[in-house]
Structure 1
Amino acid sequence: MTKTVENQAILQTSPTVNGLIPQQPPVFGLVVGEHSGDTLGAGLMSSLMSVYPNAKFIGIGGPKMQALGFDSLFDMEELSVMGIFEVLGRLKRLFHVKDCLATEFINNRPDVFIGIDAPDFNLRLERQLKKAGIKTVHYVSPSVWAWREKRIFTIEAATDMVLSLLPFEKDFYDKYEVPCTFVGHPLADDIPFYSDKGEARQALGLPLDKKILALMPGSRGGELSRLTEPFLLSAVQLLAQDPQLHFVVPMISDKRTDQFSQLKEKIAPNLAVTIITNKTQQVMAASDCLLMASGTVTLEAALVKRPMVICYKFNAFTYHMFKGLVKLEWFSLPNLLTQKALVPELLQGKVSVDNIVPLVKERLYQDQTSLEDEYMKIHLALKQNASQEAAKAVMDLMSK
């Protein structure tokens, strides 16, 4: 389908007045809290702009959204905190940001407000705006199906519509009769069914004839600080067993690159690694195996179709506070989507060199064809033209 035809299809379902598109360009409020949200926001903006070329977008956005003309009132990093202990240290600042945004949106009312992920922040803001009569959308369901199920009533009070990325989430919302639209995942639309390893290596200047392990300790400062040491020490041991092994480290920003480099200098100064900034998907495609932090990036890895070992470590206080509330057998998206142990997971105290090394070796040196077949099933299920479906749902809400 060509871009023109796509735009016409969206136009046919867009809100109208007497059969005409409103002449006044709409204003969309958006808030994202991390890089995955920035990607979702940019895709949604592009789809909305194909209908409303002069629309205004304001709130908190990342570099991809800003490149499309987004007016960001605060830096996205303001919201990039995870865990009770970490949030407590920045609570005063977070409330200040929320209050400033609420004042801005209530005084200069957007046609609709869309909070993208960051539920602890966005749901509070959405509830305040909804009470003021502003239509609200929450894009990316919180993991309410995993723990603290009664949060569904908080979500209902805060939003007019939830846009879910995963098919099983809509079933959960339907059970409680909370409006939810499954839109699929933009990553499944953007990532090709086949990612060429040799082509990616040539583009990045990586060796064509060596096994490559990607070390991916996270995009947030806290998780990176907790996972870098076990990842680097595992790499040192793996290199001792295979001196030809090559390590590459994709970093999401210059800030994280600097943080990782400083940690590496303390932990494994003699370990040779190639650090590449802002090309995570290409690095994954170039790799034979990924040692990575949990998060949206694990879904991206599944769509690129590479073997992975997934790790996560919370702040100790946060973990002990909430470990009894989580009722899921798995925490990573590939396993949740397939409802089986498709990829290995290591959580908290199990994140150790002794556990990591054998799991990585198995995936580096053994055939992974059956895994790729499972990844393809995930890809097909999530490929739904998500950004366009999300834009359509937003415009449908605007018309009510």
Structure 2
Amino acid sequence: MSGPRAALVAGEASGDLLAGLLLQGMRQRWPGLQSTGIGGPQMARQGFQPQWPYEKLAVRGYVEVLRQYREIVGIRDQLRDRLLRERPDVFIGVDAPDFNLGLEEQLRKSGIPTVHFVCPSIWAWRMKRVEKLQRSCDHVLCVFPFEPELLARHGVAATYVGHPLASVIPMEPDKAAARTALGVPATGEVIALLPGSRASEVEAMAPRFLAAAAVLQQQRPGAWFVLPALPALQSRISQLARSGPSPRHLNIVTGQSHAALAACDVALVASGTATLEAALFKRPMVISYHTHWLTYLLMKPRHLQPWVGLPNILCGDFVVPELLQSNAKPRLLAGALRDWLDSPARMRAVREKFVSLHHTLKRDTAQLATDAIEKVLAA
């Protein structure tokens, strides 16, 4: 059975996960779907044919991007030329707005319909990016409920589709099964360490997280730590654990970030999509991030809200602590984790907030997204 030809670009592990879930829904609607572009293993499981792996684009920060700018621009130019020749029925940019929006604008000008999945966080920073959305996108698939109205005020067509992870992550995670699967004690305290999915994030955050865990281990000798790592980064993380401070009870596991979040009592998480995953698992967390000082200097004045982490942004309050830049010190991170573990009532209260958030974000994303894409294809 024939189906549409779709080109997609996902620029990091979280985008690969979201795109994989989207492709699953598209294949259910269009069994003959053909898809190609830039992506990773989650997309490949849905029949996606990658022309480049997403790791080529997985770079954070202004300063860091400059080091790989020529290669990234070269990839975008090659992909653009290929898509202009092959003329897919639709192009779907999955997050990665710095890469995708410029590409979408050029494809749209040539008559190729464009959809952007995950609205750029214009409500948090870089509000002027909405002008780029106007030029680049025929339609935006929004994962947060307040976004379509905001975009409509600027003439951008959009649909709230819910967050795909809210349908994948169970409302009641099975902690006992996850602990068994990861080989950590069934009882006692377990802390998940999630230092990021990009190589540059791991270099910046993993040593801090491991050192914080070592401090906490001294104070709580019975605690266990689980660090899920992408296969490409696992050896480097293991090397960092051997060469610097790290806890005695540490399991570095391949992938399995969801199992780690299900198994843990509290998580230490690098700012990004993983913070939302932790919230959907109803886990108290400490959010942290540290980037090049110049990148931080450039980004800070553009930030429109007092929060950085998605759970805090969506709840409109500092429901979990954020320790950024100069505050991302092992001693402070360990203290913030300890504060959670020492306050069961506070942990229960934040879990209740996250249950409410989960219900808000849970929608039939596959149906809503493919309905919107079908309208774009028919236009």
TM-score if structure 1 supplies the norm length? 0.92
**Does 1:129 find its partner at 2:113?**
no
- The CA distance in 1 between the partners of 2:247 and 2:312, in whole Å, is 35
> Which of the residues 387, 396, 399 maps onto 2:366?
387
Match of 1:54 in 2: 32
Per mean C-alpha deviation after superposition, the further-off stretch among 178-187 and 226-235 is 226-235
**Does 1:322 find its partner at 2:299?**
yes
Q: What is the letter of the counterpart of residue 153 of structure 1?
A: E
Q: Secondary structure at the match of 2:92?
A: strand
Match of 2:238 in 1: 261
The Cα offsets for residues 203-222 of structure 1, whole Å up to 9 and x where unpaired, read as 22211122111111111111
1:371-382 mapped onto 2 (5 Å cutoff):
371-382=350-361
Match of 1:4 in 2: none
Match of 1:289 in 2: 266
- The CA distance in 1 between the partners of 2:51 and 2:331, in whole Å, is 46
Match of 1:71 in 2: 49
Q: Is the 8 A contact 1:44 1:388 kept in 2?
A: no
Q: What is the letter of the counterpart of residue 110 of structure 1?
A: P
Q: Aligned-pair distance for 1:234? A: 1.4
Q: Secondary structure at the match of 1:115?
A: strand
Match of 2:276 in 1: 299
Q: Aligned-pair distance for 1:265? A: 1.7
Match of 1:213 in 2: 191
Q: Is the 8 A contact 2:319 2:350 kept in 1?
A: yes
Q: Secondary structure at the match of 2:100?
A: helix
Match of 1:5 in 2: none
Match of 2:163 in 1: 185
The Cα offsets for residues 234-289 of structure 1, whole Å up to 9 and x where unpaired, read as 111111111111111111x2211112111112212673411111110011111111
Match of 2:148 in 1: 170
**Does 1:358 find its partner at 2:335?**
yes
Q: Is the 8 A contact 2:88 2:112 kept in 1?
A: yes
**Does 1:349 find its partner at 2:326?**
yes
- The CA distance in 2 between the partners of 1:120 and 1:45, in whole Å, is 22
Q: Is the 8 A contact 1:161 1:179 kept in 2?
A: yes
1:62-211 mapped onto 2 (5 Å cutoff):
62-211=40-189
- The CA distance in 2 between the partners of 1:46 and 1:147, in whole Å, is 31
The Cα offsets for residues 315-365 of structure 1, whole Å up to 9 and x where unpaired, read as 212111221111211011111111011111111111112321221012123
Q: Is the 8 A contact 1:40 1:387 kept in 2?
A: no
How large is the RMSD of aligned CA atoms in angstroms?
Answer: 1.3
The Cα offsets for residues 280-315 of structure 1, whole Å up to 9 and x where unpaired, read as 001111111101101111111111111100001122
Q: Aligned-pair distance for 1:150? A: 1.5
Q: Aligned-pair distance for 1:102? A: 0.8
- The CA distance in 2 between the partners of 1:218 and 1:335, in whole Å, is 18
Match of 1:275 in 2: 252
Q: Is the 8 A contact 1:184 1:384 kept in 2?
A: yes
The Cα offsets for residues 141-197 of structure 1, whole Å up to 9 and x where unpaired, read as 111122221111111101111111011222221221211111100010111110121
Q: What is the letter of the counterpart of residue 128 of structure 2?
A: K
Greater Rg, structure 1 or structure 2? 1
Q: What is the letter of the counterpart of residue 91 of structure 1?
A: Y
The Cα offsets for residues 21-47 of structure 1, whole Å up to 9 and x where unpaired, read as xx7531001010111111111111111
Q: Aligned-pair distance for 1:387? A: 2.4
- The CA distance in 2 between the partners of 1:222 and 1:374, in whole Å, is 32
Q: Which runs of 5+ in 1 are unaligned?
A: 1-22
TM-score if structure 2 supplies the norm length? 0.97
1:8-27 mapped onto 2 (5 Å cutoff):
24-27=2-5
Q: Is the 8 A contact 1:25 1:54 kept in 2?
A: yes
Match of 2:348 in 1: 369
Deviation above 6 Å: which 4+ runs of structure 1?
A: none
- The CA distance in 2 between the partners of 1:135 and 1:143, in whole Å, is 22
Change (3 A) 1:249 1:270: closer
Q: Secondary structure at the match of 2:301?
A: coil
**Does 1:398 find its partner at 2:371?**
no
Identity of aligned residues (%): 39
Q: Is the 8 A contact 1:38 1:61 kept in 2?
A: yes
> Which of the residues 247, 254, 277 maps onto 2:225?
247
- The CA distance in 2 between the partners of 1:151 and 1:353, in whole Å, is 35
Q: Which runs of 5+ in 2 are unaligned?
A: none
Q: Secondary structure at the match of 1:210?
A: coil
- The CA distance in 1 between the partners of 2:29 and 2:194, in whole Å, is 38
Q: What is the letter of the counterpart of residue 293 of structure 1?
A: A
Between the two proteins, the alignment pairs up a number of residues equal to 377
Q: Secondary structure at the match of 1:290?
A: strand
